[in-house]
Amino acid sequence: MTDGWNWTYEDAQGVPATAAQAVTSAFPTQSDAESWLGEHWRSLFDAGVTAVTLRHAGRTVYGPMLLSVGG
C-alpha cells in the first residue's frame, strides 16, 4: 500500500482502464494529484477514461468522478 495520492481510472462500462497518459505512481499531495488531473483530464477522456477516483493510503477519498466534455 502506498501513502501517496493516486488516481484510478474507469472506462464507460466501469471497468478499470489504463491510458498512455495515466500516471500510476503516487503524488506527494492531494493538491498535486488534482492539479495533474486538471491539466490532463482531456487526454485521459480522449483515451477512453470516463471516470476517475482519487485514493490515498489505500482508501477512496472521492469518486468515481465522471469526466465529460461539454454539456
For residue 2, the model assigns a pLDDT of: 60
DSSP helix/strand/coil, 40: helix
Name the pTM for this structure: 0.85
For residue 69, the model assigns a pLDDT of: 75
Q: Is the four-CA dihedral 29, 61, 63, 49 of positive or negative sign? A: positive
For residue 10, the model assigns a pLDDT of: 93
Place of cell 490515498: 56
Domain ranges for the chain:
5-55
For residue 1, the model assigns a pLDDT of: 45
Per-residue pLDDT in tens (0 to 9) along the chain, 71 residues: 468 999 999 998 989 987 766 776 799 999 999 999 999 999 999 989 999 999 999 899 999 999 987 65
